[in-house]
Amino acid sequence: MTHFTREPLSLERLVAEVSSPACGGTCVFLGTVRNGPAEGGVTAIEYSAYEAMLEAEFGRLLADAGGRWPDVRIAVRHRLGTIPVGDASIAIVAAAPHRAQAFDACRFMIEEVKRRIPVWKKELRVDGSEVWVDPSGRPTAKPSHV
Amino acid sequence: MTHFTREPLSLERLVAEVSSPACGGTCVFLGTVRNGPAEGGVTAIEYSAYEAMLEAEFGRLLADAGGRWPDVRIAVRHRLGTIPVGDASIAIVAAAPHRAQAFDACRFMIEEVKRRIPVWKKELRVDGSEVWVDPSGRPTAKPSHV
Amino acid sequence: MQTTPGTVQVRFFARYAELVGRSATAVSLTLPATVGDVVRLVRERLPGAGAIPERPLAAVNLKHVRLDAPVQDGDEVALLPPIAGG
Amino acid sequence: MQTTPGTVQVRFFARYAELVGRSATAVSLTLPATVGDVVRLVRERLPGAGAIPERPLAAVNLKHVRLDAPVQDGDEVALLPPIAGG
């Protein structure tokens, strides 16, 4: 199983991966590239990853989620490369017999992704500048000597 | 805006309805027709509604959600008619600047739908019997004189 | 209090429609009256309606109401089985 | 305690790769040693690496580790900028 792709994410395909007659509630999280008031002119984000570790860590994360919610079926895909504003960078699907578990497992997954999965992003701005994004949401200016 | 359909739900289309460059987190809930161990031979569910009230109540519900989460964009569609096991009966999409609001608004919507939106379901079983489902999840036997 | 004759349309859905074998009926009554009065009259007058609970979920003109809500001449009163959507 | 010479592969990602102008380097060191020792050696020896924090996030052989974790000969040690996925 590969947990990343350089192609646009297909939500329908990811939902189909975990669908089951025993599951009545499915919760999906989509993270999309944003250009809101706080961003100021983002045209795209370039996502990069430590790909081998991304796979290993997603494997461990899914095992953790499976331990907490044995009946929940989870699929996750992170998109890498240059992603334009409005496109999804991550899709998580949690299908469960009952909806509370689906919501809880999906929320757990995205919080853990943001804590554990080795992915980085660089904002590409309308003025041509590029800034690394730090986890608090504040961009780090590109060092002048690079 | 019509909040119900007799056709299969299109998740991609519903997501597109609320997408916005200002929204970085989107939470989706899909309710699907289940045939788990507790159901015992459900082949499909026949959904019916008080359609005019469904529209009016969805309008009020969306206004309530908009009051709580002014920045969240929400779309919802309930499918009616005979829905086979595995197909979605409801899709809710909540797109927000930040993910916590998206999860909260989506969860609020499905809980309120189950409390307020006048929809009923009748399980169609493999043995040919039909049973109305009551909200606690226990079917009500079809009265013998009908 | 002055009383006047009135008529409301009563609608039935799902299992309740099966119980009474129809989806609507007109109910003549003396106003002022409440939704609870309409339910009582329906249960007395309409064959099969005795199997509808004494205190069902109800709506007037597309809004959820309590059984002590008043009805007006021409209102649409709906008796709703336990909601099971989503 | 007996000491032996060893080599680890150190990998850089994202902003750290930009700072050092490369994505990997081999570091020779005396074992036993910790991830923290590797970080210190890299920051001393590699041009540009002084701008990497003294206590960065790190992984050994694809797993998150603390800086006091030991390294073995042949390990892949990764220095990870603040994670920003999702």
pLDDT (tens, 9 = 90+) of chain A, 146 residues, equals: 699 999 999 999 999 999 999 999 999 999 999 887 777 789 999 999 999 999 999 999 999 999 999 999 999 999 999 999 999 999 999 999 999 999 999 999 999 999 999 999 999 999 999 999 987 655 554 443 33
Residue with tokens 């005979």: B82
pLDDT score, position B143: 41
Question: Are B32 and A22 within 8 A, CB to CB?
Answer: no
Q: Give me the mean pLDDT over the B121-125 stretch.
A: 94
Distance of CA A100 to the CA centre of its chain: 21
Q: Give me the mean pLDDT over the C35-64 stretch.
A: 98
**Could you report the per-residue pLDDT of B16-67, keeping only the tens digit for each?**
999 999 999 999 999 999 887 777 789 999 999 999 999 999 999 999 999 9
Q: What is the pTM of this model?
A: 0.93
pLDDT score, position A15: 96
C contact chains, 3+ CB pairs < 8 A = B
pLDDT score, position A135: 75
Question: Are A85 and B21 within 8 A, CB to CB?
Answer: yes
Strand ranges (DSSP E) for B1-146? 4-5, 25-32, 42-49, 73-79, 81-84, 88-96, 119-125, 130-133, 139-140
For the ranges B36-40, B108-112, C41-45, D45-49, the lowest mean pLDDT is seen at: B36-40
pLDDT score, position A83: 97
- 3-class secondary structure for A38-99? CCCCEEEEEEEECHHHHHHHHHHHHHHHHHHCCCCEEEEEEECEEEECCCEEEEEEEEECCH
Report the distance separating Cα B120 and Cα A48, nearest Å. Answer: 48
pLDDT score, position B145: 37
With a CB cutoff of 8 Å and minimum separation 6, the contacts of A52 are D62
Exposure string over A130-142, b if 16+ CB within 10 A, otherwise e: ebbbbeeeebeee
Question: Are C11 and B50 within 8 A, CB to CB?
Answer: yes
Report the distance separating Cα B144 and Cα A29, nearest Å. Answer: 45
Chain A partners of B29 at a C-beta cutoff of 8 Å? 25-28, 99, 102-103
For residues A40 and B27, the answer to whether their CB atoms sit within 8 Å is: no
Residue C60 has pLDDT above 50, yes or no: yes
Question: Distance (Å) from the C-alpha of residue B88 to the closest C-alpha of chain C?
Answer: 9
Q: Which chain D residue lies closest to A60 (C-alpha atoms)?
A: D63
Local confidence band at D52 (pLDDT 50, 70, 90 cut-offs):
very high
Strand order in the sheet with A4-5: A4-5, A73-79, A88-96, A25-32, B25-32, B88-96, B73-79, B4-5
Report the distance separating Cα C35 and Cα C29, nearest Å. Answer: 11
A contact chains, 3+ CB pairs < 8 A = B, D
Residue B100 has pLDDT above 70, yes or no: yes
pLDDT score, position B135: 75
Question: Would you call C2 helix, strand, or coil by DSSP?
Answer: coil
Question: Are A24 and B31 within 8 A, CB to CB?
Answer: yes
Inform me whether the C-beta atom of residue A105 falls under 8 Å from chain B C-beta atoms.
Answer: no
**ipTM of predicted complex:** 0.92
Question: Are A29 and B31 within 8 A, CB to CB?
Answer: no
pLDDT score, position B64: 98
Interface test with A, best of D62, D76, D80 (most A CBs within 10 A): D62
Average pLDDT, chain C: 97
DSSP state at residue A34: -
Residue B74 has pLDDT above 60, yes or no: yes
DSSP state at residue C23: S
Q: Give me the mean pLDDT over the B109-119 stretch.
A: 98
Local confidence band at D76 (pLDDT 50, 70, 90 cut-offs):
very high
